[in-house]
Amino acid sequence: MSRKGLVLLTYIFNAILKHKYWPSQLKTAEIILILKPGKNPNSVSSYRPISLLPIISKLLERLLLKRIRSDPNTEEWIPSHQFGFRENHSTVHQIHRITHKIHQAIENKEYCTSVFLDVSQAFDKVWYPGLLYKIKKYLPITYFHLLKSYISGREFRTRISDSICNNFAIKSGAPQGSVLGPLLYLLYTADLPVKANTTMGTFADDTMILSANTDPAIATFTLENHLNQIQEWTNTWKIKINETKSVQVNFSLRREQCSAVFFNNIQIPESPGIKYLGIHLDNNLTWKEHITKKRKQADLKIKDMHWLIGRKSKLSLDNKVLLYKTIIKRIWVYGVEIWGCASKTNISIIQRCQSKILRMITNAQWYVSNITLHEDLKVPLLKEVIKEEST
């Protein structure tokens, strides 16, 4: 951008901040529809809506976000159990935190029961009056009027090819496709009830609660007591929990299990495992289900890419190895520092998969050992990957 353009943009941004008014032209989102892979193009549910906002608005939002983040009080109102949209916090960190608690309970021979809540349309259903209350409660008053203008009077229109529909008002929700939307959601859920005798883990709207005790009745009672507090909170702030899609998982090596728990007088379905933040957690934390599923996904990807990395491919060996590392290996390497503690039998499932691919890539003879293949191609063994990622 030219210097003149930057000066004009600076004038606009300063005027918005001075008058605490967000222009309506910067609050209108354009929705485009992206067809989901392998879905019927004639079905509305086959499309994923993508919200696009004016680039000028997103630039100003980023500057404003940086100011809010730099405020020393910001970290005080973000709860410690919330790992979403925060620097130096990731899904792997949250999973490690939760599985560490589960491992402790299993080692202490405790009954460990947990609930993974399904929040319905979390970002789309943020209640504006409640959000304004939270903004005034947690942020300096200088931000209140500007953010009030930012979230009020928002509209959207849908574009399909060259056709654009009329504008429609947005009456609730953190602005989709925005820079400030995630922060506003964190604000809205900052006072989610916590208890000293349970463990809560949240990553954006992914919410789980865990309770452990040597007595299964106490573990269940403690969990249900916490759920009752969350139920009151969700009713107050108009957040909808989908009870039938939520899941209760009992993590224990004992035969006796904790009893079922309820939310809004509806029993939460029980399950022997759950996929949480991309990792499959089974009730004994053996990681067998997760590893088996990743092996199947890798096998399917190998089948799709066989024409590229197979024996008859004309690609160079270096390019074949690069494709493996950037596409196929990424399928199973996520969270390896967590599930890498699995038994040697389960770990070997992934190692055999990798060795099979390397033999296919190189068209290696039967007498060439897998160790030699790994060394020549400079591809680390799985145990080496686990060691590297865990340090």
pLDDT band of 72, cuts 50, 70, 90: confident
Residue 353's pLDDT is what? 95
pLDDT tens digits, one per residue of 244-271: 999 999 998 888 889 999 999 999 999 9
Which amino acid is located at 202 in the chain?
T
Average pLDDT over residues 234-253: 94
Residues 272 and 379 in one domain: no
pLDDT band of 43, cuts 50, 70, 90: confident
* Domains of the chain: total: 3
Quote the Cα angle for 98-100-103, to 5°.
115
Residue 164's pLDDT is what? 87
Residues 72 and 98 in one domain: no
Report the C-alpha gap between 116 and 110 in whole angstroms: 19
Residues 218 and 355 in one domain: no
φ/ψ (deg, to 5) at 101? -65, -40
Give the end of a domain, one of 164, 185, 206.
185
Average pLDDT over residues 197-217: 95
Residues 208 and 160 in one domain: no
Q: In terms of Cα–Cα distance, which of 328, 335, 331, 329 is closest to 279?
A: 335
Whether residue 330 is contained in a domain is answered as yes
Quote the Cα angle for 34-38-41, to 5°.
55
Residue 354's pLDDT is what? 96
Residue 321's pLDDT is what? 94
Whether residue 245 is contained in a domain is answered as yes
Residues 293 and 378 in one domain: yes
Which pair of tokens denotes residue 257?
A: 């299990």
The C-alpha torsion from 362 through 374 and 301 to 285, rounded to 10°, is 160
Residues 307 and 204 in one domain: no
Residues 266 and 347 in one domain: no
* Residue recorded with tokens 């792997």: 92
Q: Is the pLDDT of residue 312 over 90?
A: no
Residue 222's pLDDT is what? 97
Whether residue 282 is contained in a domain is answered as no
Average pLDDT over residues 339-348: 95
Residues 106 and 128 in one domain: no
Whether residue 305 is contained in a domain is answered as yes
Strand partners of residue 159: 32, 164
Residue 387's pLDDT is what? 93
Residue 76's pLDDT is what? 83
Sign of CA dihedral 191, 147, 151, 65: negative
Domain that holds residue 339: 288-390
Q: Is the pLDDT of residue 39 over 90?
A: no
Strand partners of residue 169: 155
Average pLDDT over residues 47-52: 92
Residues 202 and 308 in one domain: no
Residues 139 and 221 in one domain: no
Residue 89's pLDDT is what? 92
Whether residue 310 is contained in a domain is answered as yes
Q: pLDDT above 90 covers what percent of the chain?
A: 81
Give the end of a domain, one of 277, 304, 328.
277
Give the end of a domain, one of 217, 244, 277.
277
Average pLDDT over residues 287-306: 96
Average pLDDT over residues 291-319: 94
pLDDT tens digits, one per residue of 138-160: 998 889 999 999 999 999 999 98
Report the C-alpha gap between 114 and 87 in whole angstroms: 27
Q: Is the pLDDT of residue 1 over 80?
A: no
Residue 5's pLDDT is what? 86
Whether residue 261 is contained in a domain is answered as yes
Secondary structure (DSSP) of 2-18: -HHHHHHHHHHHHHHHH
Whether residue 340 is contained in a domain is answered as yes
Residue 56's pLDDT is what? 94
Average pLDDT over residues 282-299: 96
Secondary structure (DSSP) of 136-148: HHHS-HHHHHHHH
Residues 236 and 330 in one domain: no
Whether residue 150 is contained in a domain is answered as yes
pLDDT band of 187, cuts 50, 70, 90: very high
Residue 235's pLDDT is what? 95
pTM of the shown model:
0.89
Residues 312 and 359 in one domain: yes
